[in-house]
Amino acid sequence: MRRGGKDGVSDRPDPDAVPETPEEASATGTLAARFALRQRSGGLIVPVLTALVAFLLGGLIVLATGHNPLLAYRDIFNGAGLNWIFHPTTSMVSTASYNLSQTLLQTTTLILTGLAVAFAFRCGMFNIGGQGQYFVGLYVANWVGVSLPHLATFPHIVLGIGAAILAGAVWAGIAGSLKAYVGAHEVITTIMLNWIAIWIGTYFFGDGGPLQNSQNATVPISNDVAASAKLPVFWGIQALQGLDVGFFIALAALVVFWALLNRTTLGYEVRAVGFNPEAAAYGGISVKKNLIRAMAISGAFAGLAGGLDMLGYLYHFATSDIPVSNIGFLGIAVALLGRNTAVGTGIAALLFGALLFGTTHGLSSNVIQPELAGNLTYMIQGLVVLFVGADVLILYVWNTRRRLRVRGVTA
C-alpha cells in the first residue's frame, strides 16, 4: 500500500496513536468521522428530544402567526394518514389509507437517500451528493423504462432498478475516487456532481433532448415508462399513485445496510476507516479502496431511490421538477436524526415522510392558507434539521465538559 499524505492519511502512522476509546479515536479522524461518532454516542434520548423540541418551537411559530398549533399538528398528523391506525370513522378510512400510502411513498425514498448519507458517514465521509445520485438513478431508470418497451415485466424491472443502482454508484464513486487518489474533499465534489446531474437532466428532458416526450414534443417532460417497467402496486390504484413494492425494497435495504456494516469484512473495514483512517491503515486496511467502496455503496442507495421513484410512481419527469426536488438533501437530515444506523434511519424517514406529506396535504385551507402552508412545511423541516444539528453541538459541549472534568481529576 503506497499512498501520499494528501488526504491527511500518512503511510506509517505512529503506533502510539492507536486509540483506546472511541472518543479519542474520533479526535484524530476526519471532521465527518468525529461528527458521526459523537452522534451515535448520544443514544436514543437525544434524537427524540431533538424532534420534540423542534415540534414545540414549530408550534410556537404557528401560534405567533395567529393559528392554533394543536389544530395544525392534528391536521398534519391526519394529513399524513397516521390516523389510519385509529380508524376514527368509516368515512375517513379511505382518505386516511390513501394519505398513509403517500406518506410511505415518501418514506421509501427517504429511507434510501438517508442510507446514502449514513453509509458514507460510517466511513468518515459526508456525502452531500445524495440528490445528484438520486437524479442519475431517476434518469437511467426512465431511459431503461421508456426505451425497452417489449421486455417482459420482471426482467424489465430488474434491469431498470439495476441500472439505477449502478448509475448512482458510479456517480458517487467519482467523488470517492477523487478523494482517494487526489485528495479532493467529498463535500466539494459531491456538491459539484449534484449540479452536473441537474444540468444533465435539464438537457435530457428539455426541448430536443434525448429523453423528451415523443408524443407532444412541445413540453419539456419525459415519456412515461412502459407498463412492463412499472413496479406492482400493492396498496391503492396504480393510476392514482398507489404504494408500490418499492417500499419493501427500501425496508430490505435497511437490513442490507445493517448486515453489510456489522456482519461483513467490508463493513468492518469501512467502519475502521471511519473511526480512524490512520489506525486502519496501520492494521493493513486499504484506506483508498474503502473510501471508493463506501462512496459507491452510498451512491447505490441513492440511485436505487431514484430508480424506485421513477418505476414506482412518477413514471415521467419534467425539467421544472428537477430544481424543486430536495428529497436527496432531506436524506442528510434523516441520517443525522437516525444516528446513521439502520433502525434510526428507518424511523427518521417515517417522521420526515409524514411531515413532508402531512404539511403539504393535511393543513386544511380553512386553518392555514395554502400559500402559507407550503412555507410552514419548510419551516418545520428546517427547525428539525436545525435542532438535529444543534444536538451535535450540545453533545460536543457535554463531552468537552466531561473530558475537562476527567482531566481535572487526573491532574
Partner 1 sequence: MRIPRWTAVIAVVTICVAAAALGTAGSSNAKPTASTTVALVSDIGKFTDHGFNQNQLAGLTRAKAKLGINTISLQSNSASDYSPNFNSAIRKGAKLVIAAGFLLAGTEATYAKQFPNVHFAITDYTVHTSPFSNKKGKVLYNNVEGLTYQANESGCLVGVLAAKMAHKMGGDTIGAVGGVKIPPVDIWIAGYKFCAQKAVPGTKVLIQYSQDFVATDKCKTVATNEISQGAKVLFQVAGGCGLGTLQAADDAGIWGIGVDVDQYKLAKRVLTSGVKRVDNGVFAVAQQEQQGQFKGGTDLNFDLKNGGMGIGKISPSCPPAFIKLMNSYKAKIIAGTLKVPSALK
CB of 69 to partner 1, least distance (A): 12
The number of helices, as runs of H, and strands, as runs of E, in the chain is 16, 2
Task: Name the burial class of residue 352, with classes exposed (0-12), middle (13-18) and buried (19+) by CB atoms within 10 angstroms of its CB.
Answer: buried
Q: Is 22 an interacting residue with respect to partner 1 (CB under 8 A)?
A: no
Residue 398 touches partner 1, criterion: CB under 8 A: yes
- For position 353 contacting partner 1 by CB under 8 A, the verdict is no
Residue 32 as a binder of partner 1 (CB under 8 A): the answer is no
Q: Is 221 a residue that touches partner 1 (CB under 8 A)?
A: yes
CA 240 to CA 106: how far, in whole Å? 15
In the list 197, 357, 383, 384, the residue contacting partner 1 (rule: CB under 8 A) is 357
Among 230, 360, 368, 387, binds partner 1 (CB under 8 A): 360
What is the residue whose three cell numbers read 403539504?
360
Output the smallest distance, CB 216 to partner 1, in A: 4
Q: Does 399 bind partner 1 (CB under 8 A)?
A: yes
Q: How far apart are CA 72 and CA 78, in angstroms?
A: 10
Q: Which residue, 147 or 364, has its beta carbon nearer to partner 1?
A: 364
Binding mask 176-215 for partner 1 (x = CB under 8 A): --------------------------x---xx-----x-x
Q: Is 21 near partner 1 (CB under 8 A)?
A: no
User: Cell 451535535 appears where?
Assistant: 392
237 binds partner 1 (CB under 8 A): yes
* Selected range binding partner 1 among 43-51, 160-168, 179-187, 226-234, rule: CB under 8 A: 43-51
User: How far, in Å, CA of 328 to CA of 322, rounded?
Assistant: 12
CA atoms of 20 and 387, how far apart (whole Å): 31
| Buried b or exposed e, range 59-86, using 16+ CB within 10 angstroms | beebeeeebebeebbebbebbbbbbbee
The verdict on 283 binding partner 1 (CB under 8 A) reads no
Q: Is the dihedral of CA 269, 270, 275, 279 positive or negative?
A: positive
Nearest to 167 by CA among 268, 31, 269, 307: 307
From candidates 182, 227, 240, 259, binder to partner 1 by CB under 8 A: 240
Q: Which position among 255, 320, 343, 382 is part of the footprint of partner 1 (CB under 8 A)?
A: 320
Residue 401, Cα to own-chain centre: how many angstroms?
32
User: What does the per-residue mask of binding to partner 1 show for 73-92, with x meaning CB under 8 A?
Assistant: xx--xx---xx-xx-xx-xx
Nearer to partner 1, 262 or 375 (CB): 375
Minimum distance from residue 116 beta carbon to partner 1 (Å): 18
- Give which of 57, 48, 81 is closest to 357, Cα–Cα: 81
Query: Binders of partner 1 among 91-130, rule CB under 8 A?
Result: 91-92, 94-95, 98-99, 102, 105-106
Residue 241 CB burial class (10 angstroms; 0-12, 13-18, ≥19):
middle
234 part of the interface to partner 1, by CB under 8 A = no
